[in-house]
Amino acid sequence: NAGVTQTPKFRVLKTGQSMTLLCAQDMNHEYMYWYRQDPGMGLRLIHYSVGEGTTAKGEVPDGYNVSRLKKQNFLLGLESAAPSQTSVYFCASSYGGGELFFGEGSRLTVL
Amino acid sequence: TQLLEQSPQFLSIQEGENLTVYCNSSSVFSSLQWYRQEPGEGPVLLVTVVTGGEVKKLKRLTFQFGDARKDSSLHITAAQPGDTGLYLCAGTDNYGQNFVFGPGTRLSVLP
């Protein structure tokens, strides 16, 4: 029972490099979310999706793009990484209005 | 923008003590959730409260939702080292799509 799986778990980038974080869920949830967690600031919503083929901006979307081509996958892309994007990224899924199920997080460092 | 504040930010207590942490907002939420997060893991749901004035108990944890659905509290009786972690509150909007998180209370229970 995998739940929500994030890859990679750790990544170090240089400023200006690009990368994609992959989130996969096996619970057939409609809703998926990407959050970033920084010390003292809790979880801030980057982008979310309410179904396959749909995406919407959250609280802090600048510098990130997302895609939801398949219901079970939600990709978060950084086109040109900046040191301000150093953070721990969490993916979550939900059946809608209920419990959020989180992955274990992806720690990204941008030098 | 809906904001949630949590207090205290940090709390260090001895095993067996009681404690209360608070989650406050100037906004009304359709429901409020409490999550606990341990180092290196994603948050895990503890409880969801929906009705103003609602009180829920989970073993030694008691959760209360304010009458106006703007605030909540978490009370732990006879804290144990296993209660150590980051406690996050999250409010949901009327559509159940967006979850707004507070910055968290980091609890340390010393044996």
Q: Which pLDDT score, from 0 to 100, does residue A1 have?
A: 63
Check whether A97 has a pLDDT greater than 70.
Answer: no
Q: Which pLDDT score, from 0 to 100, does residue A35 have?
A: 97
Q: Which of A4, A42, A98 sits opposite B102 (nearest CB)?
A: A42
Q: Radius of gyration (Cα) for chain A, nearest Å?
A: 13
Average pLDDT (B43-57) is: 94
pLDDT tens digits for B63-77? 999 999 899 999 999
Smallest CA–CA distance from A92 into chain B, residue: B42
Q: Which of B43, B92, B104 sits opposite A102 (nearest CB)?
A: B43
What are the beta bridge partners of residue A73?
A: A24
Tally C-beta pairs within 8 A across A and B.
58
Q: Which pLDDT score, from 0 to 100, does residue A56 have?
A: 94
Check whether B107 has a pLDDT greater than 80.
Answer: yes
CB B77 within 8 A of CB B60: yes
Residue type, A47: H
State the pLDDT confidence band at A111, using cuts at 50, 70 and 90.
Answer: very high
Q: Give CB contacts under 8 A, 24+ apart, made by A47-52.
A: A47/A76, A48/B97, A48/B98, A49/A74, A50/A96, A50/B97
Check whether A101 has a pLDDT greater than 70.
Answer: yes
pLDDT tens digits for A20-70? 999 999 999 999 999 999 987 889 999 999 999 999 999 999 999 999 999
